[in-house]
Structure 1
């Protein structure tokens, strides 16, 4: 991927985030593919607002141009001419979409299709070409195998396209002789959630048209009877439809509709049931442009000045969940007054709300007031101030905010350090300084997993300015973190900082980390290689891990052992196995245990010479888990490990005080073949049948059953009777 394409991707993502509704539909794969195709053919760099309707209209235009080019038509024409050339196809799609919505179906049956063909007088002989537009697809029923397209069921590539074309049908019908049917349809279904996007698209299409009478008619229906019982559905619909008029500054009913919305907000906030205002809040969250309207913000100020504590809490909570791009000075001033409220919970929500403020009204004075409020005695208030400063600092370049947050990374309070990692991430690239990066790198080693993870997240959000060698090396070693979420965060962060990073780059950094003077760095490097496994199993890596088996630090030796165990076939060389055999005698119990486990997993691939003696020695280890794994490793080697020393060592293990060791010894003796059928061995296993632990008794019995070919049932019975 080139640097140019990477920056173009970032611009597209930032553009899509401007409209929450578009950001939502962009997560649908087919929509994202079409948006990317459209983006590559259009320059939207100067576009500040894009409504859902405008987006889908642009996509339909782009698909029509592509369709016409396939028909060898000249596409160097206006949008109006493009739609004129495709008017028959569009009329068919609009009618079919609307009828599908009327019938509450996304699977458009063939009888509905054929009725639409007749109604629109679209010739079925051109139908296959119509499918080339790309929004309607046929369903191939494999059991039938019908090749005639008009005999098949169909569907739109996504429900939102069916809704868009249904809205186009409604707009045309409102402006034609079938107006009354359209009026009745809107009036009957305006509170039905299933049709909400249809009406949103209708509002947007009317805003693009010059038919003021139709626009008035639509809004008269929306505002008229019947009203829903609470009034919430009506206000939500008005908000959603008004968002589609965001770019229409001359809309003559704007003031009237804003009055409806502000009254709805006042009623919802004043009600005792939180669910009402929270549902209205969700609608406002999807309407980025409306919350910047002066009438809305004046309503918020009015409610903030209420004497009712329930109203004040509700409005603060609502504001804290909305995204502003042009906050009024009066709104910010009113919120600042709450920093002195007597209740800590109110102060905390006010700080959260202040973090949502944007625009020229967010002055140095506002920042200073927040900084001064850090003297608050309540930790929840202070944490919300840090987050608010981070969000504000991401929009307003402020070295003061960055340096203040950076200093908190050295605070003894781990909760604040975690919060500040998030706050610095909110600042993005504006948080980048040597001091911040150094402290975030140190935080990646913090003892608390959440701090490590959020430090990685913050580095990723800071972006390319954080792509220093120290940061990259630290992220690579974090691949070996004990916490899954930290490892994933480190990987994602590394991908954001360097989209061209390769596996070889990562290996080279880890190889350097294996030579670091800090034992923790060396240990993390081993753990990272373990997590990556066979993907990084080069000769150089394995040789470096074998060297690490001799490290002065036992933790490094242990992790090097574990890493070698994940390298696959390449670790079955004589050199690697000899190193692991030596590790069986390590002074550290964890190293011995790890080496024992790995040699066991290698099984038959492990050379016998030199291994067996060390495993026999491990049978005398002071730690029960090492003795158990030595028994298991010898059992996996089977008959080729059945020397006298091995048999005698396993017999001794039968007398061990730990049941897990006895059980493993029984299993191993059962794998030793003919040499394990000597009287002493059989008698030892028979005696073990009287052990208090059922797992030990069962393992002893299974081992004796494996000896049936060499020891007869009669012999076993006689020996058991003798033992009794």
Structure 2
């Protein structure tokens, strides 16, 4: 048999005529087929580029989050909490000044440790879940779709984790709404632009960025893939690409404003879809286009701390929780992710040993000791020529100080120099100058070898070369701790502070690094004792000096001139430092007496007690103030509600006031003052048990019971024992309806309830013989368990549709569907019929319209029906208003419908409320024709029109 050459355009012709797989022509055809199939599988060049970035660039190593122990942290344990910034771009003052009267930007004192660490639990309306970042949200009455987002965050709170979390979840399709909006997420650490600038690439553009950032390891086709991605960006105007630009603060001051790289940075920052991260201190650049929403990363929520502990320390989680409950300062600290990790790592090294960890200083000393144990082994330290072993460092009598003396000196110098120069990220030039100054000219250790090993320092970019990396401390408080160590060492030795001074954030000229400043410790204290950014530093200084027996002389120096005499700035410094020293320090009693007098003055002169709201304010001074006249007592109690917990002795005093023999008016006032313990705060169980007893005691004065219930309603995280008490109170036969409803309202606020408890509440909701208000309150509890909606949907639907049911209960059941914006067409048809049925109670029809209005999109047929309800003068006013409110929720109405609504708004003889509601629909529309605006303008200026109609017309024009 003679085989003819195979035409390349017909590779399949002879595949069934080969003699064997070893035939040359067979191999030729099979190879061609494999090549074609391979290309089909690879897809377009753009698809290949996306696949390379997803599978090769965003690899497990790049996205790994490592705990201090060296173990990788699961993404399921990475919590990123975001909150809306109320005043974008506002810079923090460098001085400790009092906030203006009525300032409510933070729930606790703006000078408290929790406020400084950004770990407060904010109101729910300020919180934004990461998966919902791009969801539509309202600004006033206008709905916006955020696409340009700025996220600020302090070191250690999770900006790098945020970026890794976004890439991880997007590439796995976990957040489906993101994958519907974007084809790809391109994570760009902006610090890399500084490195790329060194290449002096003329006309730097997206092709160069993609080549350097994503395809530099693809030696065969990297440039082709970078070109395809760059071309796709130009072709689509980036509408399907989300840029994740990490670290605006690291490039905002460094790139030359004249070069190509600066021009490219502007183009990059002004992409239509972008998330930009930055440290809080950086002002938004003038060349940055409008930002849709500005957020900041905040610390863990209490429930997240609990869950983290249960995952990482499953056998000791309860023990740690008890420790945190009794140590308010530690509680604030561990809401920072890296601090909680440090606590978990250190727990078995001493936190559980019975020692008193009642100050920041003792906590950080324990963490430092634990981390040096780990680092000594990693640094391969030796003593007398023999390597140090793990068993040696576990010996309590083993002295480690001489082994890490030079490393400690370097960290102290790095920390203090950075604090004074306002440097957080240390470039190589910073590190080398500080290393030379603080560890001596002869090399004591290899800087490039040691820094990556030290647990106290982190880099945001492990992928770059060592010389190109910048390093920062685990958290700013570690920098402040080591800076304080340097200051204390010089104070004890009675030697001046000497340190390099950098004239800019990054030392560009080596000669700049040779400038030094020398200042005595006393002079430094007098100059900076009221400077805000040294607040935590001075706390550590006080604690470290107290441990060494020099606490009294330090407080004497603080009390000396210069003194702030006009406000509480000096008192705040004293009490912050006092919180770090022992109760036996000789000057403590006189200092606490001065603080108590200032507190009483503040109460009587301003009607506030801001100092007492901070956990550092001495407990004894608070107790003395609580024995003053009732007005002072109430002011102090209200201020204590801003603390995360109440000290035990103060709880004892409150319990004595709530005893039966006390004055009822005083009890009511005391209970009302405890209402402030809401999100982020918690009252101890023994106090809550007493308050529950007051609420359920029928013989009690009505105002006392009402105030007690008010306290319970404010609680968001109750123990299981208390939940059981409240459950019993809710179903108690013969109990006041008012008390039962209140107990259920408390259960609404709980994040999760057991199946058994929910079964009881379900029984209350469906029981027809129960009080109406109790049933409605029980439905609210079920509604709050949003994840279990499918479990209760049949019960809820039956209650809503059953004609013989109480109308209020039906309306309450029906309104539960509002929280679920993707109802089936069948269910929507049933709800539509309820809205149209004039025989149904008005409350049921209104609830049905509200449910329809909550749906993201409805058919034209259903919108026409709603329109008919709005225009029908025979319908009740409330039904017509509800229909119009539904239309207001629709973002884009047809011109014909807008014309109908215009006629409704200006119709003579029409009900005033309906006309105002019709104008409200116009206010929500993104654009109106000039003719329509002219009509609305006429309504606004017409003096004979109803006042409310004119005001509503003005609101439309304003929008």
Q: What TM-score bracket applies, with the shorter chain setting the length? A: 0.5 to 0.7
1:563 corresponds to: 851
1:521 corresponds to: 809
2:577 corresponds to: 241
Superposed counterparts of 1:103-114, under 5 Å = 103-108=421-426, 110-114=428-432
Q: Give CA-to-partner distance per residue, 1:339-369, whole Å, 9 cap, x none.
A: xxxxxxxxxxxxxxxxxx323x667686123
1:95 to 1:561, Cα distance in 2 relative to 1, 3 A: same
Deviation at 1:425, TM superposition (A): 4.8
Q: Return the alpha-carbon distance in structure 1 between the equivalents of residues 859 and 310 of structure 2.
A: 44
- Does the Cα contact within 8 Å between 2:694 and 2:705 map onto a contact in 1? no
Deviation at 1:556, TM superposition (A): 2.3
1:26 to 1:444, Cα distance in 2 relative to 1, 3 A: farther
Q: Return the alpha-carbon distance in structure 2 between the equivalents of residues 215 and 319 of structure 1.
A: 31
Q: Does 1:5 align with 2:310?
A: yes
Q: Return the alpha-carbon distance in structure 1 between the equivalents of residues 537 and 881 of structure 2.
A: 66
Q: Does 1:287 align with 2:616?
A: yes
From 37, 57, 60, the equivalent of 2:368 is 60
Q: Return the alpha-carbon distance in structure 1 between the equivalents of residues 886 and 651 of structure 2.
A: 58
1:5 to 1:583, Cα distance in 2 relative to 1, 3 A: farther
- Does the Cα contact within 8 Å between 1:20 and 1:287 map onto a contact in 2? no
- Does the Cα contact within 8 Å between 2:346 and 2:370 map onto a contact in 1? yes
Q: Does 1:88 align with 2:380?
A: no
Secondary structure of the residue aligned to 1:56 is helix
Q: Does 1:115 align with 2:451?
A: no
From 663, 668, 672, the equivalent of 1:383 is 668
Q: Does 1:404 align with 2:694?
A: yes
Q: Does 1:358 align with 2:651?
A: yes
1:473 to 1:55, Cα distance in 2 relative to 1, 3 A: farther
Deviation at 1:559, TM superposition (A): 2.9
Deviation at 1:98, TM superposition (A): 1.0
The structure that has the greater radius of gyration is 1
Q: Return the alpha-carbon distance in structure 1 between the equivalents of residues 781 and 333 of structure 2.
A: 27
From 484, 506, 512, the equivalent of 1:167 is 484
Q: Return the alpha-carbon distance in structure 2 between the equivalents of residues 188 and 581 of structure 1.
A: 70
Q: Return the alpha-carbon distance in structure 2 between the equivalents of residues 545 and 655 of structure 1.
A: 30
Q: Return the alpha-carbon distance in structure 2 between the equivalents of residues 586 and 216 of structure 1.
A: 82
Q: Does 1:256 align with 2:587?
A: yes
- Does the Cα contact within 8 Å between 1:235 and 1:261 map onto a contact in 2? no
1:502 to 1:90, Cα distance in 2 relative to 1, 3 A: farther
- Does the Cα contact within 8 Å between 1:75 and 1:82 map onto a contact in 2? no
Deviation at 1:93, TM superposition (A): 1.4
Superposed counterparts of 1:584-599, under 5 Å = none
Q: Does 1:533 align with 2:798?
A: no
2:454 corresponds to: 133
Q: Does 1:325 align with 2:647?
A: yes
Deviates more, 1:217-226 or 1:404-413: 404-413
- Does the Cα contact within 8 Å between 2:634 and 2:669 map onto a contact in 1? no
1:45 to 1:532, Cα distance in 2 relative to 1, 3 A: farther
Q: Return the alpha-carbon distance in structure 1 between the equivalents of residues 866 and 711 of structure 2.
A: 43
Q: Give CA-to-partner distance per residue, 1:488-532, whole Å, 9 cap, x none.
A: x9799946xx9xx44533545634543563322322232221232
- Does the Cα contact within 8 Å between 2:800 and 2:809 map onto a contact in 1? yes
2:790 corresponds to: 504
Q: Return the alpha-carbon distance in structure 1 between the equivalents of residues 826 and 401 of structure 2.
A: 63
Deviates more, 1:76-85 or 1:193-202: 76-85
Structure 1 gap ranges (5+): 328-356, 447-451, 477-485, 605-627, 637-650, 665-688, 698-724
1:176 to 1:257, Cα distance in 2 relative to 1, 3 A: same
Q: Return the alpha-carbon distance in structure 1 between the equivalents of residues 470 and 843 of structure 2.
A: 65
More helix as a share of residues: 1
- Does the Cα contact within 8 Å between 1:581 and 1:595 map onto a contact in 2? yes
- Does the Cα contact within 8 Å between 1:405 and 1:424 map onto a contact in 2? no
Deviation at 1:317, TM superposition (A): 3.5
Instruction: Give the count of matched residue pairs.
Output: 547
1:411 to 1:557, Cα distance in 2 relative to 1, 3 A: farther
Q: Return the alpha-carbon distance in structure 2 between the equivalents of residues 657 and 563 of structure 1.
A: 30
1:137 to 1:409, Cα distance in 2 relative to 1, 3 A: farther
2:897 corresponds to: 632
Normalising by structure 1, what TM-score?
A: 0.57
Deviation at 1:164, TM superposition (A): 0.9
Q: Give CA-to-partner distance per residue, 1:17-51, whole Å, 9 cap, x none.
A: 54444444444454455446656987649777532
Superposed counterparts of 1:179-258, under 5 Å = 181-208=520-547, 211-212=548-549, 214-215=550-551, 217-224=553-560, 228-229=564-565, 235-246=571-582, 251=584, 254-258=585-589
- Does the Cα contact within 8 Å between 1:110 and 1:153 map onto a contact in 2? yes
Secondary structure of the residue aligned to 1:245 is coil
- Does the Cα contact within 8 Å between 2:747 and 2:781 map onto a contact in 1? no
Deviation at 1:198, TM superposition (A): 1.4
Q: Return the alpha-carbon distance in structure 2 between the equivalents of residues 387 and 515 of structure 1.
A: 41
1:258 to 1:509, Cα distance in 2 relative to 1, 3 A: farther
1:110 to 1:235, Cα distance in 2 relative to 1, 3 A: same
1:395 to 1:183, Cα distance in 2 relative to 1, 3 A: same
Q: Return the alpha-carbon distance in structure 1 between the equivalents of residues 540 and 581 of structure 2.
A: 10
Q: Return the alpha-carbon distance in structure 1 between the equivalents of residues 909 and 411 of structure 2.
A: 81
Q: Return the alpha-carbon distance in structure 1 between the equivalents of residues 590 and 355 of structure 2.
A: 28
2:473 corresponds to: 156
1:241 to 1:406, Cα distance in 2 relative to 1, 3 A: same
Q: Return the alpha-carbon distance in structure 2 between the equivalents of residues 602 and 190 of structure 1.
A: 57
Q: Return the alpha-carbon distance in structure 2 between the equivalents of residues 597 and 425 of structure 1.
A: 31
1:267 to 1:297, Cα distance in 2 relative to 1, 3 A: closer
Q: Return the alpha-carbon distance in structure 1 between the equivalents of residues 890 and 638 of structure 2.
A: 58
Deviation at 1:94, TM superposition (A): 1.2
Q: Return the alpha-carbon distance in structure 1 between the equivalents of residues 607 and 883 of structure 2.
A: 62
Q: Return the alpha-carbon distance in structure 2 between the equivalents of residues 573 and 326 of structure 1.
A: 63
Q: Return the alpha-carbon distance in structure 1 between the equivalents of residues 759 and 367 of structure 2.
A: 43
Structure 2 gap ranges (5+): 1-75, 77-305, 381-387, 498-519, 767-775, 919-930, 939-959
Secondary structure of the residue aligned to 1:286 is coil
Higher relative contact order (CA 8 A, sep 6+): 2
Secondary structure of the residue aligned to 1:167 is helix
Q: Return the alpha-carbon distance in structure 2 between the equivalents of residues 601 and 402 of structure 1.
A: 42
Deviation at 1:206, TM superposition (A): 3.7
Deviation at 1:136, TM superposition (A): 3.3
Q: Return the alpha-carbon distance in structure 2 between the equivalents of residues 245 and 5 of structure 1.
A: 32
1:684 corresponds to: none
- Does the Cα contact within 8 Å between 1:171 and 1:202 map onto a contact in 2? yes
Q: Return the alpha-carbon distance in structure 1 between the equivalents of residues 576 and 891 of structure 2.
A: 66
Q: Return the alpha-carbon distance in structure 1 between the equivalents of residues 764 and 794 of structure 2.
A: 13
Secondary structure of the residue aligned to 2:661 is helix
Secondary structure of the residue aligned to 2:417 is helix
Deviation at 1:114, TM superposition (A): 2.0
Q: Return the alpha-carbon distance in structure 1 between the equivalents of residues 455 and 528 of structure 2.
A: 29
Q: Give CA-to-partner distance per residue, 1:206-253, whole Å, 9 cap, x none.
A: 444xx43x445544534556555579655443432232235xx6x4xx
Deviation at 1:270, TM superposition (A): 5.2
Q: Return the alpha-carbon distance in structure 2 between the equivalents of residues 173 and 300 of structure 1.
A: 39
- Does the Cα contact within 8 Å between 1:472 and 1:494 map onto a contact in 2? no
Deviation at 1:201, TM superposition (A): 0.9
1:679 corresponds to: none
2:951 corresponds to: none
- Does the Cα contact within 8 Å between 1:171 and 1:206 map onto a contact in 2? yes
Q: Give CA-to-partner distance per residue, 1:287-310, whole Å, 9 cap, x none.
A: 26x314xxx478658x84xxxx8x
Deviation at 1:262, TM superposition (A): 1.0
Q: Return the alpha-carbon distance in structure 1 between the equivalents of residues 575 and 683 of structure 2.
A: 30
Deviation at 1:160, TM superposition (A): 1.9
Deviation at 1:402, TM superposition (A): 2.8
- Does the Cα contact within 8 Å between 1:460 and 1:492 map onto a contact in 2? no
Secondary structure of the residue aligned to 2:454 is coil
1:40 to 1:298, Cα distance in 2 relative to 1, 3 A: closer
Deviates more, 1:37-46 or 1:20-29: 37-46
